[in-house]
Amino acid sequence: MENRRPRAKKRGLTDRPPRFDREQISLQVMVLPAFLSVVVFSVIPISGVIISFMDYKLGGGLFNGQWVGLKHFADMFSDKLFLRALRNTVVISFLDMVFCFPAPIILALLFNEAPFKRFKRLAQTGSYLPHFLSYVVVAAFWKIILDNKGIVNNFLLSAGIVNAPVEFWTTPKYYWPLTVIVSLWKNAGWGAIIYFAAITNVSAEVYEAAIVDGAGRFRRVFSILLPAIMGTIVVMGIMRLAGLFNASFDQSYLLGNVFNRDVSYVISYYTIELGLRRMNFSYSTAINLFQSTASLILLIAANTYAKRKSDASIF
Amino acid sequence: MGKLRLTGEDVAMNAISALAVMAVFVVTLYPVWYCLIYALNDNVDSIKGDLYILPRVFTLENFKTIFRNVNVICSYGVSAARTLLGTLYSLALMMPAAYALTKRGKLRFYKFYTAVFIVSMYFSGGIIPFYLLLMNMRLLNTFWVYILPGAVGYFNLLLIMAFLRELPSALEDSAMIDGANVFQILIMVVTPLSKPVIATIAMFVAVGHWNDWFSTAYYTTDPNLMTISTYLTKLVQEEQAKASMQSLAQNTVTKQMLAADMLKYACLIATIAPIVMVYPFVQKFLVQGMMVGSIKA
Amino acid sequence: MKKTIKLFLALTLVFALGAGCSAVTPPPERPAASPDARTGGAAAVDVRFDWLLDTSPVTLRLFEDWPGGVDDPSLLGIQKLQAATGVTLRRSYPTAWDGQELILMLASDSLPDIIVMENGAAWKSNFIQQARDAGKIWAYDDLIEQYAPHFKELAAPEYFEMFKSDDGKTYEYVNAIRTSLYSQKSEEYGVVGHPSAVLVRQDYYDESGAPDMTTPDGFINGLKKMRDAHPNLIPLITPWDTWGSPLGNFGEQFGVAPYYAADGRIYDQLRSPAALETVLFINRLTREGLMPKESIIEGTDVQALVFNGEVISYLWGTLEEGKVPDDNPDTIYAFLKPLNTWKRYDTASIGGWKSILISKKCEYPDRAVRLLEFMASEEGHKTLYWGEEGPAPSEGGAMADLAKGPHYYIDASGKPTHYAEYLAEKAADWDGAALKSGLRQICYGEDSYFRDVVTWNNDDPLTIKEKEIYGGKIEYVPEMSIRVQPDTPEEEIKIRVDQIKRDAVAGILFAETEAACRAAYDGMLQELEEAGLAALEDYYTAQFAELSAIYR
């Protein structure tokens, strides 16, 4: 077809904008429904953040109420309780990133390499089930296992590793490692699913060519599979990093108790306790706004870094 | 192709990975088994605890309690309908959008769209503005309140995009040369190749719909719109509320009252069961991947 | 320009979607007013019964902010209410216990007719404040003036005094508060209620020689003896939700009053010497290994442990007496005599279970307030709590069956009293008894005296034991019924103070040495000072003076 100009190379950002031809309209139409859905249901309600600069009272309409500027933010950062929650949130998120981010990747790779196909299928189905257990049940389960008279302690005592039962839940220094373990257990299998999908993308030919070339098992994993799913890994990684200021409320509420409150109290708990439960929406919206802004900054930073180091990035 | 010789490396890798799989199996499946035995055990006996392998006093009473309400069938129906329609709708919106967004060089306003998506992902006005919006759009207390809002998550879009970028461009290019337009490429070339990611995202979205008890609890009042997740959540919360009232009143507590709390295990199994039944079908799409890399016998 | 067109198209699309797709179901069920004309009722038996002025059928919608209920119009209690006042009560409940639904209802101006909240809910006072400011709820003073002028005669005055808003009007009706009528009558009758007490397994207690546990040392030694005989059991366990402050429910054992009065000023109770004594005592318990950490950990199920026989003694209430452990059906858990220094101070702030609001969206505010009047009156309690009257046991009266009764009789002194059979049924199965009898089922406007008077029975062995042990040791101090108003600087301080007290519990009670315990306690007092306790105490002092003028 004569009229069509084949677009052989990708356009850089400094080139002049693409033409508004039929192809362009098609592409725009493709994006439009999703975009509209987001605008209507997610973007329009964002206007509600305005109440974090006001003293919002229920029942008076969304834009009534006194303007107080940055008062809520000032209150936030001068509240020792909030600062403690902030510290805990960041630490727990960070530990989660370090340990729970690589785990699904490793799991997916290991599963891929394992023999016994049928059993693998069964195990894979099992691996994501903890994700569905509500934290109420998860907490109950883990508390029983790690109880002073529970299985783990019985084992430790009889094996002579310790002399007295380890008080897992009431000793503050164990809390953070415990969150990592419970998180791993709950989410690793579910997180691995997306990596499974990415692995299927690797064409069998490339893989077999590598075998013929003499690449050993380990080599195949690291040089073929891993790079192939790197795109997915980077995307997940950036998103994870941006979630540094978010930590699970359920985990904090159900695994935490009066003894480890100092280390288990997180921002989401603070927001719910001092914001929603006291019907102080301006305050809870202000805290959310802080978290959102911080996440956004992290996202942009992580994305920029990823762009420099590799060609995989979000935008 | 004959049987490949197993190297020492192979044996090591096989062993490590097999052990890992076994460990995962036990560690993750056992807690679900644990819930199952409590669900099938007489509640009053369950108070004693110490159940690890099998129920002590087998009973179907817990499940009977859940299914006693005639509306339960309707709730399962509503949940299923919502999951199916909601997932289809989400995919129908997200696939084309993701495809278009991967054509970064060609798509005008790419930066604008991306910026809006990102903002939508992180910023929120909270539940009150959202509720008022739903109210003004007259979506409250309708079936569509389950389908329309939240159909597009930028996170899922990104995953689809990441996957699409990895697809070899050769097929697309040849289709273009053959004169196919963008829609045709999307439907006939890209989509069939994207089965793994579609299956995965479909699973994520479907599970989100299935487990969402929040929408029904706060956005609907019509009992015909009750979903199974809300129904079960309500059951559990009811028992907990009644139980906590006893301790506050410092009144005498009977075993029956304590036992009622055990219902949560049966509720959990009732929630998980359909997902477990459906996942094998999803797995078919992912199985190809699991074959790559393993030694073909 | 193109962008505007796009936007316009987009919005059109959105509205088309919204209008077309939404199968617009009719709005949620609103009270359907019966078309029957509202008849001006004939004069009732008692002219004060305002609800009899209009008993035409009407439906009122009630939202109770508690997930544990079910809306069942066939319930006996609902039907009794209908028969007496013509009001059909339709009730709705939230799914989760977080006040979220209330928030959404207020924000979208769709409150039901009547709202019932837990008096102790953290969000209650702010909610009422905001609802009032937005003009969404009625002031009871206005409603009563217009529609139910006899309400204030039929219900104790405290209901309209204790929960005034800062504009002097009452917007919430809090039920079951400890009124002076209650205190007076209970004192007359010699009732002590069912105090909090430590229950111990009788066989373990006897085999250790029935030690005297009425002194701190005696208590600790006695518990130690029992623990030594059964080292695998928990010596003493407490419900975690009693630990809002380091005193828990043990303050009474040392006679700690709600506030500490000294040198003409009112101080926080934790400053009193008795409070420190209490805390040191509990610390001794934990240091000796007699009270485990589970006692203060949220989620510990004391009752489950008791049923499983893992417990030697536990803290609960005297009503608990009589529990039979699984492994020895010949023994029971009985409550111990308290320490010799036991003394309890009752204020009108005790009780107060539910808080009831009437919203301006109610189409029949007259019926709503009269319904409440009915529920609060003695007449209403006869219907909803006492049941059917029958002859005294001495004349052969007894309860035939739960549904038809009779349920109570008038005793020699003229007091209504439940039959023993009814009380036994109730103790065995609360819910079942309520279901079958329709009594104690609809509990919104209840009054503590009218509700409890019928359960007082000086022939009941438990009551006899309670009177013997606790008689004369309970003092009613209405001048200490101090309330902190919402949205005031005092409330800010109080919230922080309560938080500090809660957070200090673990550190103080489980300190490893007595010195550490004292240090932690002083540290907490220090923190309280820094949070502004002195200002709060000024407020207490002023309030105390005011209340003293009213009550003394």
Beta strand pairing call for A54-55 and A66-67: antiparallel
- pLDDT tens per residue, range B58-93: 999 888 888 887 788 889 999 999 999 999 999 999
Helix H or strand E encompassing C346: strand C344-346
Residue C493, amino acid: I
Please report where in the chains the tokens 């590793």 appear, as a residue.
A161
Per-residue DSSP letter, C62? E
For residue C131, list chain A residues with Cβ-Cβ distance below 8 A: 58-59
Minimum CA–CA partner of A212 in chain B = B4
pLDDT in tens, B208-248: 999 899 999 999 988 899 999 898 888 888 877 777 666 55
Provide CATH code, domain A70-132+188-309.
1.10.3720.10
pLDDT at A16: 65
H or E segment at B144?
helix B144-147
- Please give the share of chain C, as a percent, with pLDDT higher than 90: 53
Cβ <8 Å between B31 and A194 = no
Mutate to test the interface with A, among B21, B209, B277 (most CBs of A within 10 A): B21
pLDDT at residue C21 in the model:
31
Query: Taking Cα atoms as reference points, which of A293, A191, A292, A295 lies closest to residue A243?
Result: A295
**Of C548, C530, C545, C536, which Cα lies nearest the Cα of C488?**
C536
Q: Please report the pLDDT score of residue C17 as a whole number.
A: 36
pLDDT bucket at A279, cuts 50 / 70 / 90 = confident
Smallest Cα–Cα separation from C302: which of C246, C248, C234? C234
Query: How confident is the model over A118-140, as a mean pLDDT?
Result: 81
What is the rounded CA–CA span in Å between residue B147 and residue B83? 9
pLDDT at A8: 47
Give per-residue pLDDT as tens, A191-216.
888 888 788 777 677 777 877 887 77
- Comparing A128-137, C226-235, C281-290, the range with the smallest average pLDDT is A128-137
Per the prediction, chain C carries an average pLDDT of: 86
Whether C413 contacts C484, CB under 8 Å: no
Mean pLDDT along residues B33-45: 88
Q: With CB atoms and an 8 Å threshold, state whether C97 touches B255.
A: no
For residue A217, count other CB atoms closer than 10 A to its CB: 22
- Confidence tier at C274 by pLDDT (50, 70, 90): very high
Residue C489: how many CA atoms within 13 Å on its side-chain side?
9
Cβ atoms of B233 and B217 closer than 8 Å = yes
Note the pLDDT of residue A98.
93
Could you say which of C17, C25, C104 has the minimum Cβ distance to residue B141? C25
Provide the pLDDT for residue B251.
59
Q: How many CA atoms lie within 13 A of B250 on its CB side?
A: 20
Least confident of C111-120, C349-358, C465-474: C349-358
How far is it between the farthest Cα atoms of chain A? 85
Q: Give the span between the Cα atoms of A133 and A147, in whole angstroms.
A: 20
Res A39 pLDDT > 90:
yes
C57-111 pLDDT, tens digit per residue, is 999 999 999 888 888 889 999 999 999 999 999 999 998 888 889 989 998 899 9
Smallest CA–CA distance from C294 into chain A, residue: A170
Give B18 or C4, the one with higher predicted confidence. B18
Instruction: Give me chain B's average pLDDT, please.
Output: 84
Percent of chain B with pLDDT over 90: 28
Interchain proximity C297–A39, CB inside 8 Å: no
**Is some CB atom of chain C closer than 8 A to the CB atom of B239?**
yes
Is C296's Cβ below 8 Å from some Cβ in A?
yes
Pair A27, B100: CB distance under 8 Å: yes
Instruction: Kindly list the domain boundaries of chain A, sorted by start residue.
Output: 70-132+188-309
Question: What does A269-314 look like in DSSP terms, one character per residue?
Answer: HHIIIIIITTT-HHHHHHHHHHHHHHHHHHHHHHHHHHHHHSS---
pLDDT score for C349: 64
Stretch B41-56: mean pLDDT: 84
Q: Is residue A115 within 8 Å of B18, Cβ to Cβ?
A: yes
Question: Is the model's pLDDT at A125 over the cut of 80?
Answer: no
Residue B247: its pLDDT value, please? 56
Q: Give the residue-averaged pLDDT of C448-472.
A: 89
Closest CA to B154 of B187, B212, B115, B124: B115
For chain C, what percent of residues have pLDDT higher than 70?
91
pLDDT for position B260:
77
Mean pLDDT across A63-76? 86
Inter-chain CB proximity C299 and A257 less than 8 Å = yes
pLDDT score recorded for residue C170: 93
Residue C547 has pLDDT above 90, yes or no: no
Q: A58 vs C134: CB contact, 8 Å cut-off?
A: yes
When the pLDDT of each residue in chain A is averaged and rounded to a whole number, the result is 85
Q: What is the pLDDT of residue A66?
A: 83
pLDDT in tens, C14-33: 333 333 333 333 333 333 33
Model pLDDT, residue C42 = 43
Mean pLDDT of C296-304: 85
pLDDT of C479 higher than 90: no
pTM score above 0.90:
no
Residues 6+ apart with CB under 8 A from C248: C238, C242, C282, C315, C505
Nearest to A136 by CA among C98, C302, C241, B262: B262
Give the pLDDT band of residue B1 (cuts 50, 70, 90). very low
- Mean per-residue pLDDT, C45-59: 89
